[in-house]
């Protein structure tokens, strides 16, 4: 297995990794419109087949009355069912965190199913206790997934208060 930079993610890449799985994001994520990512990584198996991928995009968030803050939004983390349990998600997220640091982001943020929170906690992510709102075609919604964040610079903190993602979730 080797970690690779992906210049783009095609519909065929997505179909290959999903491999017919009906609800790879637990039936929740499939109902939302997600923001396109600007940076992608993947994992190829020994035969060169893409078996996992994830992406990152810089996004603005407002917490309470604080000024807008930029986060490195990590999303679309998926490993084909046959390759799960091998640490591939962690490997990709670690690389995306390196890219986020290169982009000088002070915080990383992601959305996940509750059952995956322990995976991200092992990578240093902490829960955001407040509900996060984001845009969808019909207007703002409360994102129905758990939000987590990780400091990337010094003594960075997450402010208290309502959390409003500017745009679609990632």
What pLDDT digit, counting tens, does each position of 48-98 carry? 999 999 999 999 999 999 999 999 999 999 999 999 999 999 999 999 999
- Of residues 101, 102, 110, the one with CA closest to residue 54: 110
Of 128 and 25, which is predicted with more confidence?
Answer: 128
Could you give the percent of the chain with pLDDT greater than 90?
Answer: 87
CATH topology of domain 2-165: Aminopeptidase (3.40.630)
Give 150's contacts (C-beta < 8 A, 6+ positions apart): 97, 107, 108, 109, 123, 124, 125, 126
Measured CA to CA, the distance from residue 128 to residue 109 in angstroms comes to 9
pLDDT tier at 28 (50, 70, 90 boundaries)?
A: confident
Tokens 């890219």 belong to 99
Measured CA to CA, the distance from residue 67 to residue 137 in angstroms comes to 25
Side-chain half-sphere of 19: how many Cα atoms within 13 Å? 12
- The reported pTM is 0.92
């Amino acid at each position: 297995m080797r970690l690779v930079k992906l210049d783009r993610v095609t519909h065929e890449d997505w179909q290959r990794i999903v491999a017919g799985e009906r609800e790879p994001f637990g039936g929740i994520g499939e109902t939302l419109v997600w923001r396109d990512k600007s940076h992608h990584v993947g994992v190829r198996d020994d035969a060169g087949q893409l078996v996992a991928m994830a992406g990152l995009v810089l996004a603005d968030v407002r917490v309470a009355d604080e000024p807008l803050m930029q986060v490195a939004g990590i999303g679309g983390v998926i490993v084909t069912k046959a390759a799960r349990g091998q640490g591939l998600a962690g490997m990709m997220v670690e690389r995306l965190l390196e890219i986020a640091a290169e982009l000088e982001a002070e915080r990383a943020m992601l959305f996940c199913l509750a059952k995956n929170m322990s995976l991200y906690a092992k990578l240093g992510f902490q829960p955001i206790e407040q509900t996060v709102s984001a845009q969808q075609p019909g207007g703002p919604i409360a994102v129905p997934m758990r939000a987590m964040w990780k400091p990337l610079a010094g003594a960075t903190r997450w402010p208290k208060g309502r959390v409003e993602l500017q745009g679609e979730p990632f």
